[in-house]
Amino acid sequence: MKNRTGRRWRCALAKLRVLSGAEVCAILAGFGFHEVRRRGSHIVMQRSTEGKTTTVPVPDHRELRTGTLRANIRQSGLPKELFETD
């Protein structure tokens, strides 16, 4: 695949899987996050480590949009590879 200048991309980009809010919560739970509260269509997951608290609001939708999933990955601090296709 080539970019606009005609050069090849340096690395192949992996695609994010299509995940539901419940699936994202299950992945987060596997890494120490727990459900703090549920209000409307959002689940708030939280993890406390070394005097630091990480909070990730996850929409409880059937399919999360790519931007929402990327934001959840960034907020959680987990590696992106956990959410990519094989």
C-beta of residue 52 within 8 angstroms of C-beta of residue 42: no
CATH code where residue 63 lies: 3.30.920.30
Domain count, the chain: 1
Give alpha helix (H) positions in 1-86.
Answer: 21-29, 66-76
What domain range includes position 61?
A: 21-77
pLDDT tens for residues 65-85? 999 999 999 999 999 999 988
DSSP state, residue 56: E
Residue 15 is assigned to a structural domain of this protein: no
| Percentage, residues of the chain above pLDDT 70 | 85
Higher pLDDT, 78 or 14: 78
Residue 10 is assigned to a structural domain of this protein: no
| Cα separation, 47 vs 59, whole angstroms | 17
pLDDT tens for residues 23-53? 999 999 999 999 999 999 999 999 998 899 9
Query: Strands 52-59, 34-39: parallel, antiparallel or unpaired by DSSP?
Result: unpaired
Residue 65 is assigned to a structural domain of this protein: yes
Tokens (6 digits) for 14: 């992996």
